[in-house]
Amino acid sequence: MLRAVLIAATLLAVPAAAIAQNSAIIKERQANFKALGDAAKPTGAMLKGEADFDLAAVKNAIKVFQEKAALQPKLFPDDSKEGEKTEALPVIWENKADFEERFVKLAAAAKAADASITDADTFEAEWPKVMGNCGGCHKKYRKPKD
């Protein structure tokens, strides 16, 4: 009897551990996406003319985009398709190479922007190239907002 209880407990613990791992990975990728969004807000306001150009804020956003773009592809393992109110669509795992390549392009665009942006004029010319990488990914790989 004790042996049966131990086996049952072990079998129940494995899925619980997998769920906990998935939860942590999903929360980490959500935190990274939030950091990207937070970094994009001041630069968006600058582009719209709602805020003055601030090179330090732009360079900070570029740094965040480079760092998070490098981390995100690793945070979509096959066992993290569901949970934690994820907005990730199943098509991510069907088109994994394309999905991961989009982060490579985002990081490359941010790196190019870092080298190019020195003032308001170069910011207005270069920053949309970075942000253009976000919308395409959202349309294809993220659940629409309600």
Q: Which residues pair with 88 in a beta bridge?
A: 142
Task: Please give the DSSP secondary-structure letter assigned to residue 72.
Answer: G
Question: Which residues, 6+ apart, have CB-to-CB distance to 126 below 8 Å?
Answer: 112, 113, 116, 117
2-141 fold: Four Helix Bundle (Hemerythrin (Met), subunit A) (1.20.120)
Question: Which residues, 6+ apart, have CB-to-CB distance to 59 below 8 Å?
Answer: 114, 117
Residue 100, pLDDT score: 96
Residue 109: closest CA among 121, 101, 98: 101
pLDDT of residue 13 exceeding 70: no
For 69-121, what is each residue's pLDDT tens digit?
Answer: 999 999 999 999 888 789 999 999 999 999 999 999 999 999 999 999 999 99
Question: Which residues, 6+ apart, have CB-to-CB distance to 51 below 8 Å?
Answer: 42, 45
User: In the 3-class helix/strand/coil scheme, how is 73-96 assigned residue by residue?
Assistant: HHHCCHHHCCCCCCCECCHHHHCH
* E-state strands within 13-118: none
pLDDT of residue 53 exceeding 80: yes
Residue 3, pLDDT score: 59
pLDDT of residue 1 exceeding 80: no
Q: What does the pLDDT average to over 24-39?
A: 95
User: Does 122 or 81 have the greater pLDDT score?
Assistant: 122
CB 99 within 8 A of CB 76: yes
Q: What does the pLDDT average to over 139-146?
A: 88
Residue 23, pLDDT score: 86
pLDDT grade, residue 8 (50/70/90)?
very low
- List the domain boundaries for the chain: 2-141
The per-residue pLDDT of the chain, averaged, comes to 88
Q: What does the pLDDT average to over 20-29?
A: 83
Q: What does the pLDDT average to over 10-28?
A: 63
User: Does 41 or 8 have the greater pLDDT score?
Assistant: 41
